[in-house]
Amino acid sequence: MADQNIWDPNPRPEEKQPGNKPMGNMAIVAYNLLALAFYTIVFKLLASQGGFLFDAFVLLGHFIVCFVMAISSKSWMWVLSGVLVVAIGFSTCVMVIGMG
């Protein structure tokens, strides 16, 4: 008790300081966006024609998986991931079509 600062109105243990906090649920969003970027780049590089169509089907599957995971785990981070995957994936498909 003597080593604690009695004047600190909000004492925190060392393990709960903001700098030591792990990513937590935001890792779900980050990994889904990394997967989206990876398979979009792969489809753009490997498929000269029709790559955007296959990318759209994989994007739809990715969204469905995120939606099912949101229901099964009751986590809003999966919903956020699904919405971001659709929004970013749709705009990426439009860009790939425009470049081709």
For residue 82, pLDDT over 60 is answered with: yes
Spatial CB neighbours of 51, under 8 Å, sequence gap ≥ 6: 43, 44, 96, 100
What number is the average pLDDT over the span 74-83?
A: 87
Q: What is the residue extent of each domain of the chain?
A: 24-99
Q: What pLDDT, on the 0 to 100 scale, is given for residue 88?
A: 87
For residue 61, pLDDT over 80 is answered with: yes
Helix ranges (H only) for 26-75 are 26-46, 51-73
Give the containing element (helix H, strand E) for 20: none
Residue-wise pLDDT tens digits, 4-57: 555 656 655 555 555 545 567 788 888 888 998 888 888 777 766 666 778 788
Residue 55 to residue 36: CA distance in whole angstroms? 9
Spatial CB neighbours of 60, under 8 Å, sequence gap ≥ 6: none
